[in-house]
Amino acid sequence: MFEKLDGVVLRYEDISRELTSPDIASDQKRFRALMKEQSDLAPVVDAYQEYRLSRKAEEDSLEMLQSEKDEDMRELAREELASAREKTADLQQKLQILLLPKDPNDDKNVIVEIRAGAGGDEAALFAAEIYRMYVHYAEKRGWKPELIDFEEIGIGGMKSVSFMIKGQGAYSRMKYESGVHRVQRVPSTESAGRIHTSTVTVAVIPEVDEDIDIQIPDKDVRIDVMRASGNGGQCVNTTDSAVRLTHYPTGIVIYSQTEKSQLQNKNKAWALLRSKLYDLEVSKRHDEEADLRRSQIGTGDRSEKIRTYNFPQGRVTDHRIKLTIYRLGEILGGDLDEIIDPLQAADQAAKLLKLDSAG
């Protein structure tokens, strides 16, 4: 591990020197790449520097304990030694986590698709609540949610909704939300007070960078333009601004209608199609590496039931890590870090365990 850390420090120093070179300003692509790499390496370099200082404090305390005759000073050295050892152990674990192979998609924006599953109108109502939960969560983290497409029902529910979340690290957090979300509650239309169970499915897809080469031949896609439907305002509903893309080889249909401009809707639709095709390719590779998929919390099969929202008991249970929180209202209000933080920690622990067993 320490050889790798020394290599990281050397690389960080090389980048810092290159960024001060007068020639770098003329190559903006190279400049941005170096700035991103430096930003990625900085937490590792800082933690390693802190670790070395802690190790030095540990050695100094041990030396003092061995040479000092005064009992009061020896007691002080023992306390400092214990504190330094605890800090060193914590930093070593932090460094192990920082050195784990990073998901290349973690820093990307995401496209989220929510679809009502079993449960009819109640499932559509729950889908709308899940959508609002993610919008609140995005806003709390300073991200920007942008609606792509939706299909409403008359009572305030949504059969489906697609939207993008733009923000640094959006995928690193939102990737844990893919799967089946289940709700247990008494519907307002239920006169006998019986608890119903409904489901929605959530798919989280990283946005594909423009520099990733995804070939989509023109003959493979049909483009239709039409008037937008739903609550879009007079301008939206009276112009042919909505765009539908049909990808023949996969059967994927993309519909974008939330922008007033046809060009903007077309750009959103193409971005979503590119991301879906990329996600299909990644999923295919993961399926071929079944062990990898099983070891990754949050990136498994989208048919997997991941979470239950129980209204009568006011609890949310995440089944992957057996976590139960009795703060249902706050979770639906966007306080998702209470669930995502433990999921991320469990994911990191699983990866560390896999590395240890491999080593």
Whole-angstrom Cα distance, residue 228 to residue 259? 9
List the Cα angle 255/299/315 in 5-degree steps. 90
**32-55: pLDDT as tens digits:** 888 888 888 998 999 999 999 999
Which residue shows structure tokens 């239309």?
189
Which of 325, 282, 298, 284 shows the shortest CA–CA distance to 179? 298
Residue 41 Cα distances to 6, 44, 98, angstroms: 12, 5, 9
Find the mean pLDDT for residues 190-198. 80
Task: Retrieve residue 146's tokens.
Answer: 């942008």
Return the pLDDT at 304: 77
The mean per-residue pLDDT over the stretch 281-300 comes to: 56
291-319 pLDDT, tens digit each: 544 545 554 455 679 999 999 999 999 99
First to last CA, the chain: 12
pLDDT at 176: 94
Residue 146 has pLDDT above 70, yes or no: yes
Residue 242 one-letter amino acid:
A
